[in-house]
Amino acid sequence: MSHLYRHLRVHQIFGANTDVGKTVIAAALVRASTLTNHNTFYLKPVSTGPPQHADDVHVQRYAGPHRHLLNTQCLFRYEDPVSPHLAVRMASQRSGVESSAPSDETFVNAIAEHIRACARPGFPGHMYVETAGGVHSPTLSGTTQLESYRPLFLPTVLVGDPKLGGISSTISSYESLVLRGYIVDAILLFRDDYYRNYEYLFPYFAERGVHVASLDPPPPLQGNLNEDISATEAYYANLAPRSLDGEIFHALRHLDECHVHRIKELDSMPRRTLDSIWWPFVQHGLVKSEKDVTVIDSAWADFFSVYDSSSEPSACSLLAPKLDGSASWWTQAVGHAHPSLALAAANAAGRYGHVMFPHATHLPALKLAERLVHEGPGVGWASRAFFTDNGSTGMEVALKMALRSFSINDKELTPRDKKDLWIIGLKGSYHGDTIGAMDATEEGVYTCEWHQSKGFWFEPPTVAIQNGNFVVSVPSPISPSTSSVHFDDLHSVYDIQNRLHSPLADIYRTHVRNTLQALRRKGERKLAALVLEPIVMGAGGMIFVDPLFQRVLVDAVRDKSLFENPLPVVFDEVFVGLYRLGMKSFGPLLGVNPDIAVYAKILTGGVLPLSVTLASERVFQAFNSPSKVDALLHGHSYTAHAVGCQVANTTLDMIEMLSQQDPWRLAREKWSCGARRESAAVWSFWDPGFVRSVSRLAVVHEAMTLGTVLVIKFKDDGAGYASHTAQNLLRSIESPVCESGALSAAPGGAPFGIHYRTLGNVAYFMTSLNTSLQTIEEIENRLWKTLSATIKEA
C-alpha cells in the first residue's frame, strides 16, 4: 500500500511517452537532490536494453560532485530494448527456458521492500522511482504500469512530451493518472522552442493546480563517446549547478513543499475533522481525541491506506494498510478504487452528467433496469424497476408500493385506516434510517421522536453453527417444547423444499396462523404487507433467520383462508442481495418470489449511492389510472443518475465474470456436500473448518457464515462480561502484526491491521466478491490466534 515517510520523500517518475527524457530529468533531480545534501535513492524497477546503457548507469555517471550520497538500484533487468512484457518473453525464448514474468504482486512487493529498506529515520532523503515507457506501457506481467504501481500510491512527477503531439500525450497521460487517483505533484518537460508545448501546458495545468517546469534539453549525441560524455556532463552541470540555482532546484523545492504539505495536511486532518464533521452513528461525546479519527488517505482493493503519525520515530511508513473488514458498511463488491468503475463513472459523467428521468430514457438506466428485471433478481416475477438514491429511499418506495397495492383492493378503508395500516415483519428488522422506513420496524434505540412502529413483529427462529453443529434455534413463543433442531450440514438447513414436510414446518405454520388470526380478531389494525430481509437481518445484529420460517410467512400471507387478497410481499435485499450471501437473490432458495424487492449497496460496486426497487406487474397496475394523482408521486432529483447506473452495469458485468472463475468454484466446492450439487447455492468464501472450529471456542456462543459474511456471536453472561472480552480481544486485531520476514496479503506486503465493526456482542467480517484467498486466510489466522489466546488467558 501507500508509502509515506517523514524523512524520505519518494516520487515515482512517469513519462507522457517513451523517449521524452524521463531518465535525463530523473538524473537532473537526483543530482539536485545530492547537491542539496540529501541521501538520494534512484530506483529503476525494470530496465530493458543493453546493461551498459541502462538508466541507472546513466544516473550514476552524471550524479555530480555529491555522488557519494546516491544509491541506485534496478530490480529486474532485461536486455532487449522493447516493452518489458516483451522483454520477458524474448529473454525466455533466448535462454530456451520457459520462465514466467513476475506477478504484479511480486513486482509491487519487491519495490515496496526496497523503499522500506531505504527509509531510515533522521536521515533526510529523496527517492525517485523511474518507470519504463509511457504511463500505460505494460510492465513485466503485462499489466500497464499505472495499474501495477497503483497499490504503492506514490506521488508522481510526470515527464511531459516536448515534441509535436506532445501536448496531447501529456494531457492524456495526466488524465490516466488522475483517473487512478494519483497525486500529480509536477510536470517537467524539455523546452522545445519550435513546438513550445510548455507555453501551452503551463497555463493549462496552472488552472488545474499542477506545477509545470521546463528544462533545457540535453545536447544531441555526436557519436563520439568521450565528447558525448563531457557534453552531457557540462549539460548536467549547467542544469543542476553547484550554485543551486535554476528550474530544477525550483522543481526540487516544489516537490519538497508538496511532501511537507501532504504530511502537514494529514497531521491536521483529525483536528479539522473534529471541528467540522458530524459523523453518522457516532456519539461524538465518546470521541476523546484526535487518535479516534481514522485518516484514510486512499484505498485499494480490500485495504484502506491509513495515516498513523505515531509510527514515527520508527522507520515505518506513515501510511499503513488496514483491511476494510466490514466492506465499508457492506458496500464493496470488487474492492476499492477499481479503475474499471472509475472509468465507467467518468464515461457516464462525460456523456450525460445527469439527465432528468420522468418521461425520459438513457442507455445506462435502461440497461440496468432490463438486466435487473429480466435477467437478474427480478427474473420470473418483476416487471418494472423504480430508481432511488439509497436503500432507505428504495424501501420507502417499496412501502408506498405495498400500501397502495394492498389498499386499492379494500374499498372500505377510510383515510384514517390507511394511516394505520400495519405490516408484518420480524423482530430485529432494519430497513434504513429515514423515518418512514424506520416506522416499518419496532421502536428502539435507532428510532427518533416521530417514530411510530406500524406493524407486528414475529420473533424468528435462527440458524447458526453451535459447537460445530448446524442448529436452528426456535424461540419459545413458537414452540415451548422444541427449542432447537440439529442438521447434518449447511445444505440441509437451506433445503426448503425438503424441510416443508418436516414437523418443524407444521409448528411454524400453526404458530403463524394462530398469531395472524389473533391479530385479525383484535381487528385494531389492518395487516397490509409482509416485509422481510431474506436469510439475514443485517443491522439488527447479523441474525441468520431460519429460511423455512420466512417461507411459511410468505405462504401464510398468500393463503386465501387467511387473507381475502394476498398481501404484497417485500424483500429488502439491500444488504443481502446480489451475491453478498453468495446468491443473486432468494426466490430460488425460498421457493417463492416477492412482489417487491429492493437493491442497493453492492449494486454500484461500492462506489456511490443508487437503489432500485423492483415491482411485479400487479403492484405496478395498482398505480395505473387515467389520473395523475394516482401515480407513484415519488422521485428524487437525481433519479436514475447515469453515473450510478453505468457503474452498476459495469459492476454487474464484473460480478458475472467472477461468478464463473476459480475462486468462487473452489469456495463452492469446499462447502458442497458431495452428491447434492444442485443445492450448491449455499456456500461461503470463509473456510468451513475454520468456522466450525470458531464455533467450538469457549467464549463463542455461535458462529455462522454465508457468502462474504462471517458472524461470530460471543457469549453474553448477562453482566456483559463476555461481550466486553470480545471487544478487548478484537481490539488487538486492529493493529498490524509483524511476522518476521513474511509479507502480508496487503499490496506491498506490509503488516496490516483490521478495521471492523461490531453489533452488540456480535462481531462480523465481510469480504468483497473478489477478495483473495490469501487475504481471507490471513484474517482467519489472525482471528484464530487472537481467540485462542483469549481462551488461554481465561
Residues 31-90 within binding reach of its own copies (CB under 8 A): 82-83, 85-86
Q: CA-to-CA distance for 368 and 388, rounded, in angstroms? A: 13
Q: CA-to-CA distance for 534 and 537, rounded, in angstroms? A: 7
* Grid coordinates belonging to 347: 464515461
For residue 451, state whether it binds its own copies (rule: CB under 8 A): yes
For residue 431, state whether it binds its own copies (rule: CB under 8 A): no
* Least distance between its own copies and beta carbon 397 (Å): 8
For residue 759, state whether it binds its own copies (rule: CB under 8 A): no
* Grid coordinates belonging to 717: 453472561
Cβ distance to its own copies smaller for residue 97 or 450: 450
Residue 551: partners with Cβ closer than 8 Å, 6 or more residues away: 496, 500, 590, 591, 592
- From 222-230, 321-329, 486-494, 735-743, span contacting its own copies (CB under 8 A): 321-329
- From 218-226, 345-353, 540-548, 690-698, span contacting its own copies (CB under 8 A): 345-353
Cβ atoms of residues 539 and 584 within 8 Å: no
For residue 214, state whether it binds its own copies (rule: CB under 8 A): no
* Least distance between its own copies and beta carbon 521 (Å): 23
Which listed residue (109, 214, 639, 770) binds its own copies by CB under 8 A?
639
Query: Could you tell me whether strands 319-324 and 303-307 are parallel, antiparallel, or unpaired per DSSP bridges?
Result: antiparallel
For residue 490, state whether it binds its own copies (rule: CB under 8 A): no
SS3 assignment, position 310: helix
Q: CA-to-CA distance for 438 and 447, rounded, in angstroms? A: 7
For residue 606, state whether it binds its own copies (rule: CB under 8 A): yes
DSSP for 649-695, please give it. HHHHHHHHHHHTSHHHHHHHHHH--TT-GGGTTS-BSS-HHHHHHHH
Which listed residue (68, 223, 359, 742) binds its own copies by CB under 8 A?
359
Cβ distance to its own copies smaller for residue 71 or 758: 758
- Report the site for its own copies in 134-153 (rule: CB under 8 A): 134-138, 142, 144-145
Cβ distance to its own copies smaller for residue 63 or 337: 337
For residue 448, state whether it binds its own copies (rule: CB under 8 A): yes
SS3 assignment, position 371: helix
* Least distance between its own copies and beta carbon 344 (Å): 9
Q: CA-to-CA distance for 697 and 714, rounded, in angstroms? A: 10
At 294, phi and psi to the nearest 5? -90, 115
Which listed residue (1, 69, 129, 345) binds its own copies by CB under 8 A?
345
Which listed residue (3, 211, 336, 584) binds its own copies by CB under 8 A?
336
**One-letter amino acid for residue 408 of the chain:** I
* Least distance between its own copies and beta carbon 482 (Å): 35
At 466, phi and psi to the nearest 5? -115, 125
- From 247-255, 378-386, 484-492, 681-689, span contacting its own copies (CB under 8 A): 378-386
Cβ atoms of residues 472 and 702 within 8 Å: no
Residue 467: partners with Cβ closer than 8 Å, 6 or more residues away: 695, 696
Chain Cα centroid distance, residue 465: 28
* Least distance between its own copies and beta carbon 19 (Å): 7
- Report the site for its own copies in 504-533 (rule: CB under 8 A): none
Q: CA-to-CA distance for 695 and 140, rounded, in angstroms? A: 44
Among 530, 541, 509, 395, smallest CA distance to 455 is for 530
Which listed residue (296, 379, 699, 759) binds its own copies by CB under 8 A?
296
Which listed residue (64, 133, 160, 425) binds its own copies by CB under 8 A?
133
Which listed residue (13, 26, 43, 337) binds its own copies by CB under 8 A?
337
Cβ distance to its own copies smaller for residue 23 or 173: 173
- From 107-115, 433-441, 682-690, 707-715, span contacting its own copies (CB under 8 A): 433-441
SS3 assignment, position 470: strand
Cβ distance to its own copies smaller for residue 75 or 413: 413
* Least distance between its own copies and beta carbon 87 (Å): 12
* Cross-strand pairs, 188: 159, 213
- Report the site for its own copies in 220-259 (rule: CB under 8 A): none
CA dihedral of 387, 393, 398, 402, whole degrees rounded to 10: -130
Cβ distance to its own copies smaller for residue 321 or 391: 391
Cβ distance to its own copies smaller for residue 657 or 794: 657
